[in-house]
C-alpha cells in the first residue's frame, strides 16, 4: 500500500505529457505487476486503511477498472464497508467518484450512501464532510443533503479560509444552495480575496452560477481585486473572468472600462474566439466605455473585419447581432452577413434555426431604426392584443385604473411594429400635464401628443443588483424612443412588493415627472 500510494503521489505531480509516458512505464514494469499479484492474493487480509488507499492509488494510476484486481478490491470494500472509519469513507468516496458505473461500483456506492446517512451526524471533520459532499454529487437525495448541511453547520464557527473555498466547490458538486453555509463562506473569501488563486476565482463564480447564488458583494469584491491588480493578469485571463461575470449577469463597470482601454491600446490579442466572447460580454451587460467609446467600437469593427475570411456564418451573425445591440453595426461585416442571408447560407438545423432567425430579425431592425436617416414616424400603428393582462401585471392594471379613473385612459398588452411589445401605453398632452383618453387621440391623431410606454421587466432583464438594463432590453428602449415613445422602465418584482398606496404614488411620479421624458 505504501509503495502504491507513493507511486501515485509522485505521479500526480508530473505534467500531463510526463504522466502519459510514466503511466505506460509503471503499468508494464515487472515490479508493479508482482506488487499487483501480491495485492490480489492478500486482498481479504488487508486492513481497512490499506484496502481503501490501495484501491484509490490503483484507480488514480489508471489501472483498468475491469481488471480482476480492481473488481476484487471493490467487492472486498463492500464486505468490509461497516468496518470503515470516517477517513476511509472519505477516501473511498473520492475513489468511486472517479470510477465508471458498473454492477460492483454501483452496489458499493449505494452501500456507501447508506453508511453516510447513518454516520453523518457523528462526523466532526469539516474536510471529510466537504469531500463527501463533493463525491456523493448532485444525485444525492435531498434529505441526505440536508443532513450534510446540518453537520457542516455544527462546525461552521471554526471555518478557515481554505475550507471556505472548498465548501463553495463542494456545495456546487452537491448542487445544493445552502445560504447558512454560503454566506459565511462568502464573507471569509471577501476578507481574503488577495489570497485566492485565479483558477479558484473562476471556480467560485461558476459554483455561484450552478447554485444560482447571487451575492453582489462577493462578485464586487472579486471584480475589484482583478481590477486593482489588472497589470498582473494576462488579457486572456481577464476575458475568462469577464465571461464568468456575464454568465451571472453581473456588470463589473470599472473592470469593463479598464479592459476596453487594453483592447484599444493592443487589439492584436483578439483572435476570433476572444473577440466573440468580448462582444457577447459587452452586449449582454449593455456596457459602453465611458471614454473613447467610438475608438473602442472602431477597434472591434477592425478586428471583426480581419476575422471575416475564417469566420463561420453563425459566428458572423452573433458578432453583428452583439454590435447591433450596442447600437454600433459594423458596415463591412454587415454587408457580408446580408450576402450570406441572400444566398440562404444562414439556414441551419432546427435547434439553431429559431435563434438565428431572431438574431437576423434584430439586426435588420437595428439597420432601420438606428440609421441616421431614420425619422420619428408621425403615427405608429398599434394592435391591442388582449384586454386581459398576465397575472404579474394585474396589480399595475389596478393601480393605473385607480390613478387615471378609467380603463379607457390607457392601452394594455400593445403590439408594435418590429415585433416590439409594451405592457401599457398612456398618451399625454404636449405639456405632459394631462392624460388623454385613448379613443380621442386615435380619432384625431396629433404629433404633439406624447406617448408613454410602460415596461414592467423581470429582475433577470437587469444587470445583477442594479437598475441597469441588459442589452436586449436597452436596445428595445432605444428603439421605442426612436418610434416616438417615452419609456418608463420598472422592475416588476419591486413594484409587486409595494403597498397599493405607495404603488399609486410611484406611478404618479413616473407619469407626471419630467424625468420620465429624459431617456
Over residues 196-220, the mean pLDDT reads 96
Q: Which helix (H) or strand (E) holds 383?
A: strand 383-384
**Do both 363 and 402 map to the same domain?**
no
Confidence bin at 51 (pLDDT 50/70/90):
very high
Copy the grid coordinates of residue 132: 463527501
Among 122, 144, 165, where does a domain finish?
122
Among 374, 406, 422, where does a domain finish?
374
Does residue 469 lie in a domain region?
yes
Tens of pLDDT, residues 55-66:
999 999 999 999
Copy the grid coordinates of residue 386: 388582449
Bridge-partner residues for 452, per DSSP?
A: 426, 486
Does residue 198 lie in a domain region?
no
Tens of pLDDT, residues 454-463:
999 999 999 9
DSSP output for 336-363: HHHHHHHTTTT---HHHHHHHHHHHHHH
pLDDT over 90, % of the chain: 75
Whether the predicted pLDDT of 312 surpasses 50: yes
Nearest to 250 by CA among 276, 286, 226: 286
**Do both 396 and 474 map to the same domain?**
yes
**Do both 391 and 353 map to the same domain?**
no
**Do both 456 and 487 map to the same domain?**
yes
Calpha distance 318→322 (Å, rounded): 6
Asked if residues 454 and 424 have their Cβ atoms less than 8 Å apart, the reply is yes
**Do both 356 and 424 map to the same domain?**
no
Whether the predicted pLDDT of 379 surpasses 80: no
Nearest to 133 by CA among 152, 110, 115: 152
pLDDT value, residue 375: 84
pLDDT value, residue 439: 81
pLDDT value, residue 518: 41
Strands in 465-511 per DSSP E: 485-491
Does residue 281 lie in a domain region?
no
- 503 CB contacts (<8 Å, ≥6 apart)? 395, 396, 399, 495
Tens of pLDDT, residues 120-138:
989 999 999 999 999 898 9
Query: Based on the structure, what is the number of domains in the chain?
Result: 3
Query: Mean pLDDT of all residues in the chain?
Result: 91
Residue with C-alpha cell 503511466?
23
Over residues 307-318, the mean pLDDT reads 93
Whether the predicted pLDDT of 316 surpasses 80: yes
Copy the grid coordinates of residue 413: 398588452
Residue 232 buriedness (CB in 10 A; 0-12 / 13-18 / 19+): exposed
Tens of pLDDT, residues 176-200:
999 999 999 999 999 999 999 999 9
Whether the predicted pLDDT of 514 surpasses 60: no
Residue with C-alpha cell 404618479?
508
Range in 12-16, 191-195, 440-444, 513-517 with the lowest mean pLDDT: 513-517
Asked if residues 193 and 218 have their Cβ atoms less than 8 Å apart, the reply is no
Whether the predicted pLDDT of 144 surpasses 90: yes
pLDDT value, residue 387: 64
**Do both 398 and 357 map to the same domain?**
no
- 350 CB contacts (<8 Å, ≥6 apart)? none
Confidence bin at 119 (pLDDT 50/70/90):
very high
Whether the predicted pLDDT of 348 surpasses 70: no
Computed from CA positions of residues 85, 175, 165, 19, in that sequence, does the dihedral angle turn out positive or negative? positive
End-to-end CA distance of the chain: 72
Does residue 209 lie in a domain region?
no
Give the domain range for residue 511: 383-516
Strands in 26-165 per DSSP E: none
pLDDT value, residue 59: 94
Does residue 98 lie in a domain region?
yes
**Do both 359 and 387 map to the same domain?**
no
pLDDT value, residue 431: 79
**Do both 342 and 389 map to the same domain?**
no
Does residue 15 lie in a domain region?
yes
Calpha distance 111→136 (Å, rounded): 12
Does residue 169 lie in a domain region?
no
Confidence bin at 444 (pLDDT 50/70/90):
low
Calpha distance 234→231 (Å, rounded): 8
Confidence bin at 253 (pLDDT 50/70/90):
very high
**Do both 332 and 369 map to the same domain?**
yes
Whether the predicted pLDDT of 306 surpasses 70: yes
**Do both 388 and 511 map to the same domain?**
yes
Whether the predicted pLDDT of 352 surpasses 80: no
Does residue 149 lie in a domain region?
no
Tens of pLDDT, residues 381-399:
887 766 677 788 999 999 9
Q: Which helix (H) or strand (E) holds 435?
A: strand 435-436
Over residues 22-51, the mean pLDDT reads 93
Calpha distance 207→147 (Å, rounded): 21
pLDDT over 70, % of the chain: 95
Confidence bin at 329 (pLDDT 50/70/90):
very high
pLDDT value, residue 519: 35
**Do both 101 and 6 map to the same domain?**
yes
**Do both 362 and 462 map to the same domain?**
no
Among 323, 345, 374, where does a domain finish?
374
Amino acid at each position: 500500500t505504501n509503495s502504491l500510494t507513493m507511486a501515485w503521489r509522485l505521479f500526480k505531480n508530473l505534467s500531463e505529457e510526463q504522466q502519459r509516458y510514466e503511466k505506460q512505464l509503471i503499468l508494464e514494469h515487472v515490479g508493479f505487476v508482482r506488487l499487483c499479484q501480491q495485492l490480489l492474493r492478500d486482498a481479504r487480509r488487508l486492513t481497512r486503511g490499506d484496502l481503501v488507499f490501495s484501491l484509490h492509488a490503483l484507480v488514480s494510476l489508471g489501472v483498468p477498472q475491469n481488471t480482476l484486481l480492481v473488481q476484487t478490491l471493490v467487492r472486498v470494500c463492500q464486505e468490509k464497508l461497516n468496518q470503515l472509519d470516517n477517513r476511509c469513507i472519505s477516501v473511498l468516496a473520492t475513489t468511486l467518484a472517479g470510477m465508471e458505473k458498473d454492477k460492483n461500483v454501483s452496489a458499493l456506492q449505494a452501500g456507501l450512501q447508506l453508511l453516510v446517512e447513518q454516520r453523518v451526524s457523528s462526523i466532526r471533520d469539516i474536510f471529510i464532510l466537504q469531500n463527501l459532499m463533493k463525491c456523493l454529487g448532485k444525485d444525492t437525495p435531498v434529505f441526505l443533503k440536508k443532513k450534510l448541511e446540518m453537520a457542516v453547520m455544527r462546525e461552521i464557527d471554526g471555518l478557515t479560509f481554505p475550507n471556505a473555498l472548498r465548501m463553495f466547490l463542494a456545495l456546487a458538486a452537491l448542487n445544493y444552495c445552502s445560504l447558512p453555509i454560503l454566506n459565511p463562506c462568502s464573507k471569509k473569501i471577501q476578507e481574503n480575496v488577495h489570497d485566492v488563486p485565479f483558477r479558484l476565482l473562476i471556480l467560485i463564480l461558476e459554483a455561484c452560477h450552478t447554485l444560482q447564488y447571487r451575492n453582489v458583494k462577493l462578485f464586487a469584491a472579486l471584480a475589484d481585486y482583478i481590477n486593482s491588480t489588472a497589470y498582473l493578469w494576462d488579457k486572456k485571463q481577464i476575458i475568462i473572468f469577464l465571461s464568468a461575470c456575464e454568465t451571472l449577469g453581473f456588470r463589473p463597470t470599472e473592470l469593463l472600462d479598464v479592459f476596453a482601454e487594453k483592447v484599444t491600446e493592443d487589439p492584436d490579442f483578439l483572435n476570433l474566439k476572444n473577440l466573440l466572447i468580448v462582444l457577447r460580454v459587452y452586449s449582454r451587460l449593455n456596457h459602453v466605455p465611458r471614454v473613447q467609446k467610438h475608438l473602442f467600437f472602431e477597434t472591434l469593427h477592425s478586428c471583426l473585419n480581419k476575422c471575416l475570411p475564417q469566420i463561420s456564418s453563425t459566428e458572423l451573425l452573433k458578432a453583428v447581432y452583439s454590435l447591433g445591440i450596442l447600437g454600433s453595426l459594423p458596415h463591412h461585416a454587415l454587408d457580408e452577413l446580408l450576402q450570406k442571408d441572400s444566398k440562404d447560407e444562414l439556414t441551419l438545423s432546427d435547434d439553431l434555426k429559431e435563434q438565428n432567425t431572431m438574431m437576423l430579425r434584430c439586426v435588420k431592425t437595428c439597420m432601420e431604426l438606428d440609421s441616421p436617416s431614420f425619422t420619428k414616424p408621425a403615427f405608429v400603428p398599434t394592435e391591442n392584443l388582449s384586454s386581459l393582462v398576465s397575472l404579474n401585471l394585474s396589480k399595475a392594471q389596478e393601480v393605473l385604473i385607480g390613478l387615471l379613473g378609467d380603463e379607457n385612459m390607457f392601452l394594455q398588452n400593445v403590439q408594435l411594429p418590429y415585433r416590439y411589445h409594451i405592457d401599457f401605453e398612456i398618451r399625454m398632452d404636449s405639456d405632459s400635464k394631462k392624460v388623454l383618453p385613448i379613443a380621442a387621440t386615435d380619432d384625431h391623431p396629433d404629433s404633439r401628443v406624447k406617448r408613454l410606454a410602460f415596461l414592467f421587466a423581470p429582475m433577470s432583464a437587469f444587470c445583477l443588483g442594479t437598475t441597469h438594463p441588459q442589452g436586449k432590453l436597452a436596445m428595445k428602449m432605444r428603439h421605442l424612443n426612436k418610434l416616438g415613445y417615452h419609456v418608463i422602465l420598472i422592475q416588476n418584482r419591486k413594484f409587486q412588493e409595494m403597498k397599493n398606496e405607495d404603488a399609486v404614488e410611484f406611478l404618479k411620479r413616473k407619469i407626471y415627472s419630467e424625468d420620465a421624458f429624459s431617456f
